C-alpha cells in the first residue's frame, strides 16, 4: 500500500506531540463565564501580537468573520468585498443569512483591490440603495493562489475607509503566511483594520479554532454574538492550549511550506499541458489548470488519487496546499507521479 500524500488543504494538518501534551495538561474553567485561564492567556497573547485591545477565541474562521460583519453592520447595508474573497464565496452566504446585508464584489489584481474602484462603489443610503458600512479584505488571498496582498494597498484602503467613516475587517485566516512571505509583521497588517480574524487550524497546525481581534467594545459585543451563534465552548482551554503553541512556535516553520510549494510549482510549470506561473505562488497554495492533449483535468485528478496524491478541484483548476504534514518526500513523489502521467 502506497503512502497517502494529502495536499487538499492545510486544514488537514494534525496537532504536534507538544500540542497534544499541552491539551492534556491544560488548566481549564468555564469560558462562557470568562473563567478559563488558558483561553484568557490565548486571547491576551493574540491581542498583543496584533496590536489590538482585545481578542475572542471562536471555533472557526467562518464564525469569526460572521461575527465581525454582524457587529460592524446593520440590516439594509452593504459590504464591499473582493470578487473571489473567501468571505463572499466560501462561507455559506453568512453575510446575507446572519447579518442580512448585501455583498458588493469588485475586481482586483490578485486580491489587491484598487482604492479608486472601491471609492466608486461606496454608496450613501437612500430610498433605493443601501449604505456602505464595511470593507472586507483578505490576506493571504485563498482563491488567488495564496497571494500576499501588499501592505501599501491595505494602507490605501484604510485611508479611504477613514475618509468615509467605514470600518475595515480582514479575513486573515493565513495572515502569518503573509507575514513570513513578505517580512511585514502581523501587527502592521492588523493596523490597516478595525478587526481581523485568523486561524490556528491551517498552517499553524492546531486542531481547532480561530481568533477575532479588535477594540474592547467590539469584542464585548462579539462575545455575546458568539454565544447566540452557539460558539460558547465551556472548558475550551484544552483547545486553546494547542492554539498557544500554534501562535508561539508554528509561524517560524511556515517558510518550509512556502519553499515546498515553490518547488512543486516550478516542477509542474514545465510539464506538458500545465498552465501555471510559479511567480504567482507566493506562499503555500498552488492553483493551476491543465490543457493536455491526452488527459483532462478531472481525469488527472482521479489518476493522482489512485496513486495516493490527494488534491482539490476548485473553480479555475486544481489546488495543492503544502503544510506541516507533507514533507519533501511527498513533494518529490507528487512531482514524479505528475511527470509520469503527463509525459
Peptide bond into 140 cis (omega under 30): yes
Same domain for 75 and 158?
yes
Neighbours of 216 (CB within 10 A): 11
Work out how many domains the chain is built from and give that number: 2
CATH number for the domain that contains residue 308: 3.90.1150.10
- Cα 170 vs. chain centroid, distance in angstroms? 10
Q: Within this chain, do residues 199 and 278 fall inside the same structural domain, yes or no?
A: no
Say which CATH number the domain at 209 has.
Answer: 3.40.640.10
Reading the block at residue 269, the C-alpha cell is 510549470
Same domain, 211 and 304: no
Cell of 302: 482521479
Same domain, 257 and 242: no
Q: Show which of 203, 224, 250 is a domain's final residue.
A: 250
Which ranges of 143-253 does DSSP label H, i.e. alpha helix?
151-163, 175-182, 186-190, 216-228, 237-249
302 and 173 in one domain?
no
Predicted confidence (pLDDT) at residue 308 exceeds the cutoff of 70: yes
Residue 257, domain extent: 5-12+253-342
Question: 140 with 219, same domain?
Answer: yes
Residue 300 has pLDDT above 70, yes or no: yes
DSSP 57: E
Instruction: At 134, list the grid cell.
Output: 464595511
CA distance 39 to 68: 20
Q: Does residue 313 sit in the same domain as residue 211?
A: no
**Is residue 59 within 8 Å of 48, Cβ to Cβ?**
no
Q: What mean pLDDT, rounded, does the chain reach?
A: 97
Residue 1 has pLDDT above 70, yes or no: no
| C-alpha separations of 245 from 9, 35, 42, 43, 200 in Å | 20, 20, 10, 13, 9
Which of helix, strand or coil describes residue 129? coil
Residue 138, classed as helix, strand or coil, is: strand
Taking only the tens place, the pLDDT of each residue in 53-95 is 999 999 999 999 999 999 999 999 999 999 999 999 999 899 9
Residues 119, 202, single domain; the answer is yes
Question: Of 212, 233, 250, at which residue does a domain stop?
Answer: 250
φ, ψ for residue 104 (rounded to 5)?
A: -115, 95
Q: Are residues 156 and 242 in the same domain?
A: yes
> CA 146 to CA 152: how far, in whole Å?
18
Last residue within a domain, chosen from 187, 216, 250: 250
pLDDT at residue 122, as a whole number: 98
Claim to verify: residue 92 and residue 213 sit in the same structural domain: yes
Write the DSSP symbol of residue 130: P
Q: For residue 84, what are the contacts with CB-CB under 8 A and spacing of at least 6?
A: 108, 111, 141, 143, 144
Partner residues linked to 105 by β-bridges: 81
pTM of the model: 0.96
| pLDDT at residue 126 tops 80 | yes
Q: Hey, CA dihedral for 280, 283, 289, 293, is it positive or negative? A: positive
Whether the per-residue pLDDT at 3 is higher than 90: the answer is no
The answer to whether the CB of 61 falls within 8 A of the CB of 243 is: no
**243, 263: one domain:** no
Residues 231 and 262 in one domain: no
Tell me: the pLDDT tens digits for 144-157?
A: 999 999 999 999 99
Mean pLDDT for 253-257 is: 98
Amino acid at each position: 500500500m502506497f503512502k497517502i500524500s494529502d495536499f487538499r488543504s492545510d486544514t488537514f494538518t494534525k496537532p504536534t506531540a507538544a500540542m497534544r501534551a499541552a491539551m492534556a495538561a491544560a488548566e481549564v474553567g468555564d469560558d462562557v463565564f470568562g473563567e478559563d485561564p488558558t483561553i484568557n492567556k490565548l486571547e491576551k497573547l493574540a491581542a498583543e501580537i496584533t496590536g489590538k485591545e482585545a481578542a475572542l477565541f471562536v471555533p472557526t474562521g467562518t464564525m469569526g468573520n460572521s461575527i465581525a460583519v454582524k457587529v460592524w453592520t446593520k440590516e439594509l447595508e452593504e459590504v464591499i468585498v473582493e470578487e473571489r474573497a473567501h468571505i463572499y464565496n466560501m462561507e455559506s452566504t453568512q453575510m446575507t443569512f446572519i447579518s442580512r446585508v448585501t455583498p458588493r464584489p469588485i475586481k482586483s489584481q490578485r486580491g489587491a483591490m484598487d482604492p479608486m474602484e472601491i471609492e466608486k462603489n461606496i454608496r450613501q443610503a437612500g430610498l433605493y440603495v443601501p449604505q456602505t458600512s464595511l470593507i472586507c479584505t483578505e490576506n493571504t488571498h485563498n482563491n488567488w493562489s495564496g497571494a500576499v496582498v501588499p501592505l501599501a494597498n491595505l494602507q490605501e484602503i484604510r485611508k479611504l475607509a477613514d475618509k468615509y467613516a467605514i470600518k475595515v475587517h480582514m479575513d486573515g485566516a493565513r495572515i502569518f503566511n503573509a507575514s513570513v512571505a513578505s517580512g511585514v509583521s502581523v501587527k502592521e497588517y492588523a493596523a490597516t483594520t478595525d478587526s481581523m480574524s485568523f486561524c490556528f487550524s491551517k498552517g499553524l497546525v492546531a486542531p481547532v479554532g480561530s481568533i477575532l481581534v479588535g477594540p474592547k467594545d467590539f469584542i464585548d459585543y462579539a462575545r455575546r454574538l458568539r454565544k447566540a451563534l452557539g460558539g460558547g465552548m465551556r472548558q475550551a482551554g484544552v483547545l486553546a492550549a494547542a492554539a498557544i503553541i500554534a501562535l508561539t512556535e508554528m509561524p517560524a516553520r511556515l517558510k518550509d511550506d512556502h519553499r515546498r510549494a515553490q518547488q512543486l510549482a516550478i516542477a509542474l510549470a514545465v510539464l506538458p499541458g500545465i498552465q501555471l506561473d510559479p511567480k504567482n505562488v507566493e506562499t503555500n497554495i498552488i492553483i493551476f489548470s491543465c490543457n493536455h492533449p491526452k488527459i483532462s483535468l478531472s481525469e488527472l485528478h482521479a489518476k493522482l488519487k489512485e496513486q495516493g496524491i490527494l488534491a482539490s478541484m476548485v473553480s479555475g483548476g486544481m489546488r495543492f496546499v503544502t503544510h506541516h504534514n507533507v514533507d519533501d518526500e511527498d513533494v518529490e513523489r507528487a512531482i514524479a507521479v505528475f511527470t509520469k502521467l503527463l509525459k
